[in-house]
Structure 1
């Protein structure tokens, strides 16, 4: 019992000392360390990256400010209402990013922020697994006024609000093309790259679907910032 009390006392003293050091400025904490701090997209995504992206989803001004602190170039697009339960608000076009995307994606600001973070991680993975850099990402689309899996009935897809993107392939500086359809699940450097890219996306976006989910996703990774979290 005495030992437990000593441990509690020691922990309390350590907390008081840390608080004093923070107050006096002896310890400097990066402003984006906590989820309520400003989102610094040029830093490596931290533990709360997903929470931060979801916060940007509800604060267009903060999201555009976060993008504006990066080297990327983007254009703010007009809000649109298209058909029943379709359309988009707070959408930007990524005109120039660290890794080129083809075609240039038009997606919600928060999705664009997530893609910027994901690109940084992709480049690190590619250099580790493939000894080359990613120079282009092929995407199949962001906006489409449809239901999930293009079903005749059911809930609207996040694509219906440009809050999703489908990623098909990655082009490397050495000329190789890594295809989700051809390379995913293989015991090769290309397959390991795709596995790691999928895992990194799961740490950032709310929903990540790939070939393991169903046959409709055999040729792409689906990434979105919908209302719940699921990764497969």
Structure 2
């Protein structure tokens, strides 16, 4: 009798495990963005591997541009430029679109993977947060630039910055539809709406960019968010501060 009970118990455990696997499989089939081997789709919600897939677009310009095209993003592909460690080949410049967030200055041309992440950030993080907190959308994102042939922190030695290949952008402020500005420099500290908004969009960026650095990181980032798509491999580390 005891042997029969043990056998039944094992069968129940195995059956329960199989049911859990089937439920997990069914759920994941509805969320391909949570699987590492599925193709990236900018129309899907942000998933567990969206950020890594965006970073993996570096060096695959054709795929990145095809993603922007399918998502209806209006852009101009820039000619390759720079040289050596400061060479870039996949920079794109957004065209003005009605209803879309404008970048200011508008001439900025980050790499295609950065633009793809910025658009997802706009659609699924920034605008939802703005509507929830302010009841209105963001009209403009002000920035400090993207491409800059320099080493990290402007040092004379050491690793080159992701800015050296246009794989980064520094975001300084958000201008709401009514014209009010919410800036990293002036509004990061405190407990009010503006500070909450800035923290929400910073945290959301961490799901899309390889590196997100804010005033929480150091004094050098007291006035901006540094967002980049550094390549660190499929299982490489990600930075969110």
Shift of residue 12, structure 1, vs aligned partner: 2.4
Unmatched runs of 5 consecutive residues or more in structure 2: 1-5
Once superposed, what is the RMSD of the aligned Cα atoms?
2.4
Q: How does 1:65-80 map to 2 (within 5 A)?
A: 65-80=66-81
1:12 equivalent among 6, 18, 27: 18
Shift of residue 175, structure 1, vs aligned partner: 2.1
Task: For CA contacts below 8 A with separation 6 or more, give which structure has more relative contact order.
Answer: 2
The TM-score, its normalising length taken from structure 2, stands at 0.85
1:136 matches 2:140: yes
Q: Which moved more, 1:155-164 or 1:124-133?
A: 124-133
Shift of residue 13, structure 1, vs aligned partner: 5.4
1:94 match = 94
Q: Secondary structure at the match of 2:144?
A: strand
For residues 218 and 68 of structure 1, the distance between their equivalents in structure 2, rounded to whole angstroms, comes to: 35
Q: Which moved more, 1:139-148 or 1:73-82?
A: 73-82
Q: How does 1:115-194 map to 2 (within 5 A)?
A: 115-120=118-123, 121-194=125-198
Structure number with the higher strand fraction is 1
Report if the CA contact (8 A) 2:150-2:164 is conserved: yes
Report if the CA contact (8 A) 1:169-1:178 is conserved: yes
Q: Which moved more, 1:45-54 or 1:7-16?
A: 7-16
Q: Secondary structure at the match of 2:75?
A: strand
Report if the CA contact (8 A) 2:144-2:171 is conserved: yes
| Larger radius of gyration between Structure 1 and Structure 2 | 2
Q: Secondary structure at the match of 2:64?
A: helix
Q: Secondary structure at the match of 1:144?
A: coil
Q: Which moved more, 1:73-82 or 1:28-37?
A: 28-37
Report if the CA contact (8 A) 1:163-1:224 is conserved: yes
Unmatched runs of 5 consecutive residues or more in structure 1: none
For residues 135 and 195 of structure 1, the distance between their equivalents in structure 2, rounded to whole angstroms, comes to: 19
2:3 match = none
2:226 match = 222
Shift of residue 11, structure 1, vs aligned partner: 2.8
For residues 192 and 24 of structure 2, the distance between their equivalents in structure 1, rounded to whole angstroms, comes to: 47
State the 4+ residue runs in structure 1 displaced beyond 4 angstroms.
Answer: 13-19, 30-33
Q: Secondary structure at the match of 2:40?
A: coil
For residues 197 and 22 of structure 2, the distance between their equivalents in structure 1, rounded to whole angstroms, comes to: 45
For residues 212 and 32 of structure 2, the distance between their equivalents in structure 1, rounded to whole angstroms, comes to: 28
